[in-house]
Every structure is written in C-alpha cells, then in structure tokens.
Copies of this chain bind each other. A is one copy, B any other.
Amino acid sequence: MDIKKTAKIFKALFNSNRLELYLKIAEAHETGFETGGECCVADIIGCLNISAPTISHHIKELANADLITTEKRGKFLICRINEEMVAEVGKILVLNRLDKNPIHLA
C-alpha cells in the first residue's frame, strides 16, 4: 500500500460535509436522482445545507482525489463515483454506507 495515496483518500473524506456529498453521489449512482440516475450540484444544494460555492469546492477536491469523475453536460455538472477507486480502496465505504454486504476475511 502506498501511504501517500491512502492518506490522500482519507484527506478527501475526513470532512463530514464532503463525506456526505460523496455518499450522496454514490447513492444517486445506484438509486437515481430526479435528473435520472445522475447527480449534479443543484441536486446536492437541496440536501446539504452549505452554499453552492462550497459544494463546488468540495466536488473539485473529490475529483482531485480521483474519488469521483465529473462531466459537463449542458448547464449541469454530472458527478459520478469513480468505480476504479472504489474497487481499489473504497470498498469499505460503499459497504459500510449501505449497511449490507458484510466484509469477510479471506
């Protein structure tokens, strides 16, 4: 394991607003949002009570840590979970988040 790399992920998620934001994106990733299975900044403003500039900032942080990917589509910024990262380190997050799929040691 690369310590720097791992610390970077923790750094991206230690802020509870940012963690909540990440989980919200993950949730949309599975259950769908009003926009249809995807998640944009406007969706999040309704859920978390932080300002749009702050959300924009946090999204950039998450993207910078490769935890999510973003894509500009029309007026909206579509955010998606980066599956590769989940596969590599983030499994525990998704697993814990959903409170299902318990972990088993090999």
A interface residues (Cβ-Cβ under 8 A, vs B): 1, 3-4, 6-7, 10-11, 13-16, 19-20, 23, 89, 91-92, 95-97, 99-106
Contacts and interface: CB of A to CB of B under 8 A. Distances in A.
Contact of A1 (B3, B10, B11, B96): B96
Given A89-B92, A91-B105, A104-B106, A7 B16 contact: yes
Number of this chain's copies in the complex: 2
Contacts of A13: 6-7, 10, 14
24 contacts: A1-B96, A1-B97, A1-B99, A3-B19, A3-B23, A6-B96, A7-B13, A7-B15, A7-B19, A10-B11, A10-B13, A13-B14, A14-B14, A89-B92, A91-B92, A91-B103, A91-B105, A92-B103, A95-B105, A100-B106, A101-B106, A102-B106, A103-B104, A103-B105
